[in-house]
Amino acid sequence: MELSIEEARGTFDCLELKEVPYALLGVTPMEVLGLEPDLKNRKLRVLPMNPEQTYLSVL
């Protein structure tokens, strides 16, 4: 499945969960696309992806 959010794009394996009526986005696609969940506002935040401040430096 190809997933694109903002300008980030990637291809990921996915599973169909028939018991769940909504989409689930796993940790690996979020890391690859540079996304972070904003739990308070129930949105995804796009993290800065530059040499000084990347997703990996947050970990």
The pLDDT, as a whole number, for residue 51 is 58
Domain map (residue ranges) of the chain? 2-58
DSSP SS3 for 9: strand
Q: What is the C-alpha separation between 13 and 47, in angstroms, rounded? A: 23
Which residue, among 42, 43, 47, has the nearest Cα to 31 in the 3D structure? 47
The pLDDT, as a whole number, for residue 41 is 93
Per-residue pLDDT in tens (0 to 9) along the chain, 59 residues: 898 887 888 999 988 888 988 888 888 888 888 888 888 999 888 887 665 655 555 54
Asked whether the beta carbons of 52 and 12 are under 8 A apart, the reply is: no
Q: What is the C-alpha separation between 59 and 46, in angstroms, rounded? A: 15
The pLDDT, as a whole number, for residue 31 is 85
